[in-house]
Amino acid sequence: MEWSFWAKLGVSVFFFPLLILFVLRLVKRRPVTPKADVKLLVVAGSGGHTTEILRLLNSLSKKYSPRHYVLADSDKMSEEKIRSFEQKRAAKYPDSSRK
């Protein structure tokens, strides 16, 4: 029995989305949450990107601790923002001791 063009097309149209869903489920990545604490070094330059850095840090779990910061002696504004961020973070995660 030979399949007609339309039968082949119908089978393809039916199975192709299923194949795509199957492949997507195989390669779907889950967010990585570290099992142990991860030390983090943050370099805050004086170029005005401290807010963006802190926004990224805010999205990390409490496992990313301790955080060490490097910034210029003259960058008082970044220092103030980082201190404020760390105080808020300590209030949010009181059980995570600073190491």
The reply to whether the predicted model has a pTM over 0.75 is no
Cβ neighbors of 3 (< 8 A, separation 6 or more) are 11
The stretches of 1-99 forming alpha helices (DSSP H) are 5-27, 50-58, 76-92
Residue-wise pLDDT for 1-50, tens only, equals 577 888 888 888 888 888 888 888 877 766 667 788 899 999 987 667 88
Nearest partner of 85 among 38, 65, 74, judged by Cα: 65
Per-residue model confidence (pLDDT) at position 56: 92
Contacts of residue 53, defined as CB under 8 A and 6 or more positions apart, other chains included, come to 42, 44
Among all chains, which residue has been given the structure tokens 């404020």?
84
- Interatomic CA distance for residues 12 and 25, integer angstroms: 20
What pLDDT shows up at residue 94? Answer: 82
Please write the tens of the pLDDT for every residue from 46-86.
667 888 999 999 999 888 989 999 998 888 999 999 999 99
